[in-house]
Amino acid sequence: MAHTNRIALVTGANKGIGFEIARQLAEAGATVLLGARDADRGRQAAEDLTAEGLSVSSVAIDLNDEASIAAAAKHIEAEHGRLDILVNNAGIVDAEDGPPSGASTAAVRRLMETNFIGTLAVTQSMLPLLRRSEAGRIVNLATTLGSLAINGDPSSPYYSARLIGYNASKAALNMLTVQLAAELKDTRIAVNSVCPGYVKTDLTGNNGFMTPAEGARLPVQYALMEDSTVTGRFVEPDGVTPW
């Protein structure tokens, strides 16, 4: 990227993969805005990284509160004038989610509102700032469970993971990646869905095969990627994932 000091926003960055993405981007020389729904937790996480000598600050942003999203965009514009990297990491699971026959529709609504509509709202608000970048990057944190092909493949180890709300919200997020990448194909902004792998976090109940630091590596790689023609992809650590 031409900008030597990249400005990055990572949503849901006060813990887990988001926190490690923020750390690794800052270690690579970026100025990182650590987005958090809880302002106090965001400030504490930013202070922890600042104590390591990293250029990190916090910004309050709640995917279910468009006023907070708009305020975050205004803050970034006032402080930095542009945005080079947007990592849409924030997302939720819901205990009332489950198979299509029995999942709570309220839970499905919550999941879609946060994981898809909230991410769309953040992206729309940040796009004017990303357009000012010499090489904008949008990384949408994806999951293998968002693949329609894999959900329909009885041979897949993920075939039995029937969470209609969560899986559908992440499939919708992939649609955002596909359509936005096509819309921005003649710009310097690249958009990709990146699955970090099965990571031990609160969201997975601390199950998984990877640490948050390991899970952060692939999203960071795509956030820092030089080639803007690498766009509209759905990737995980083993390679490209079928939509």
Q: Which residues belong to the active site?
A: 166, 170
Rounded Cα–Cα distance for residues 202 and 12 (Å): 12
Rounded Cα–Cα distance for residues 196 and 214 (Å): 8
Torsion of CA 116, 56, 3, 139, to 10 degrees: -20
Q: What are the respective helix, strand and coil percentages of the chain, to the nearest 5?
A: 45, 15, 40
* Amino acid type, 90: A
Rounded Cα–Cα distance for residues 124 and 106 (Å): 25
Structure token pair of residue 167: 């899986």
Rounded Cα–Cα distance for residues 146 and 111 (Å): 13
Q: For Cα atoms 239, 240, 243, give the angle at the middle one, nearest 5 degrees.
A: 145
Burial (CB count <10 Å: 0-12, 13-18, 19+), residue 40 = exposed
Contact residues for 47 (Cβ-Cβ < 8 A; gap 6+):
none
